[in-house]
């Protein structure tokens, strides 16, 4: 090799850029969409593997044998075994060590910050059951407006309103109640019953400041943006994207108990034999089924 000859350096690698893009997609997907997070994880794994393979190639691939230059007037001198080139060059070791240390430091810094920022929103979100009162206070076939304190120790700020109808028993002989949450699924405004509210028959029942008011209802409407729902909570007009949210229910010692809330795309049928298409509870304005649901971010549990 002449003095002017320069060793050929490897070309710049694009693998680190792809790896960084994958990590960015993962962090974005945690907030935006599960699909984005999964795609980002796949990209990060693929490019990370290619990056590590590229960096460790000198270590994994033995250097090609180079025949010593020979001339007629000189005798080739073979190096001693002690003078053979190192199998693990210092530059490769430093590169791998730098990458590993950088990844470790990045993980130690990023993971705690991400955990403190994101995890609290997804923990301690359990809902306590609310005892509304004896089922005899809910006449069969009639709607009532039930308001209650979700957390009595907190006060009126936790008061919730539901539209409840005792459906009697279904074909299997199981008691059935329609439990509609009053919040409009467009932007969260409180809906109002379309019908006569019998305020003079309002009464207080149950241990959680439950107020029950009979109502002759033909549907429900939102005074904010004109959303309209039928008596099963299905959207019939206006901007709402799905049916009214509902809650599970149970009967304990003759009392009606409100359980976990959930979202509904639509309801087929009516009353005790209605078929409810239920999903995990979502905030207003979010589709819960079809391709449109993929466009919405991961929501904090309600």
User: In the structure, what pLDDT confidence band is assigned to residue 27 with cuts at 50, 70 and 90?
Assistant: confident
Q: Quick: pLDDT tens for 171-198.
A: 888 889 999 999 999 999 999 999 898 8
Mean pLDDT of 62-87: 57
**Domain assignment of residue 300, yes or no:** no
Output the average pLDDT for the chain.
78
CA dist 242 and 266 (Å) reads 7
**Domain assignment of residue 55, yes or no:** no
Asked if residues 149 and 206 have their Cβ atoms less than 8 Å apart, the reply is no
Q: Give me 214's structure tokens.
A: 């009979």
Q: Flag whether pLDDT at 245 surpasses 70.
A: yes
**Domain assignment of residue 147, yes or no:** yes
Q: Flag whether pLDDT at 72 surpasses 70.
A: no
Domain count along the chain: 1
**Domain assignment of residue 244, yes or no:** yes
**Domain assignment of residue 158, yes or no:** yes
**High-pLDDT (> 70) share of the chain, %:** 71
Q: Flag whether pLDDT at 37 surpasses 90.
A: no
Q: Flag whether pLDDT at 83 surpasses 70.
A: no
Q: Flag whether pLDDT at 103 surpasses 50.
A: yes
Q: Flag whether pLDDT at 8 surpasses 60.
A: no
Residue 291, domain CATH: 2.102.10.10
User: In the structure, what pLDDT confidence band is assigned to residue 231 with cuts at 50, 70 and 90?
Assistant: very high
CA dist 212 and 256 (Å) reads 12
Q: Give me 210's structure tokens.
A: 């439950």
Contacts of 70 (CB under 8 A, 6+ apart): 76
User: In the structure, what pLDDT confidence band is assigned to residue 96 with cuts at 50, 70 and 90?
Assistant: confident
**Domain assignment of residue 197, yes or no:** yes
Range of the domain at 155: 130-295
Angle at 189 between CA 285 and CA 240, to 5 degrees: 35
User: In the structure, what pLDDT confidence band is assigned to residue 234 with cuts at 50, 70 and 90?
Assistant: very high
**Domain assignment of residue 301, yes or no:** no
**Domain assignment of residue 170, yes or no:** yes
């Amino acid at each position: 090799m002449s003095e002017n000859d320069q060793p050929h350096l490897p070309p710049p690698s694009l693998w680190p850029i792809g790896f960084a893009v994958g990590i960015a997609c993962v962090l974005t997907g945690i907030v935006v969409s599960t699909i984005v997070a999964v795609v980002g994880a796949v990209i990060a794994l693929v490019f990370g593997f290619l990056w590590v393979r590229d960096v460790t190639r000198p270590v994994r691939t033995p250097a090609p044998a180079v025949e010593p230059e020979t001339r007629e007037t000189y005798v080739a001198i073979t190096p001693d075994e002690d003078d053979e080139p190192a199998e693990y060059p210092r530059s490769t070791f430093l590169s791998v060590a730098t990458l590993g240390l950088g990844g470790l430091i990045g993980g130690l810094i990023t993971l705690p910050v991400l955990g403190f920022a994101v995890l609290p929103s997804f923990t301690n979100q359990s809902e306590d059951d609310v005892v509304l009162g004896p089922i005899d206070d809910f006449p069969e076939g009639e709607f009532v407006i039930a308001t209650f304190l979700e957390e009595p120790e907190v006060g009126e700020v936790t008061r919730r309103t539901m539209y409840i109808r005792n459906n009697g028993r279904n074909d299997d002989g199981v008691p059935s109640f329609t439990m509609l949450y009053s919040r409009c699924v467009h932007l969260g405004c409180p809906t109002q019953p379309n019908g006569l509210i019998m305020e003079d028959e309002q009464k207080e029942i149950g241990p959680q400041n439950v107020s029950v008011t009979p109502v002759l209802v033909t549907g429900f409407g939102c005074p904010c943006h004109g959303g309209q729902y039928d008596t099963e909570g299905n959207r019939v007009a206006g901007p709402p994207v799905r049916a009214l949210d509902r809650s599970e229910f149970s009967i304990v010692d003759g009392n009606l108990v409100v359980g976990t809330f959930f979202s509904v795309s639509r309801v087929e049928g009516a009353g005790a034999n209605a078929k409810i298409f239920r999903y995990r509870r979502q905030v207003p304005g979010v589709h819960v089924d079809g391709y449109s649901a993929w466009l919405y971010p991961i929501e904090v549990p309600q």
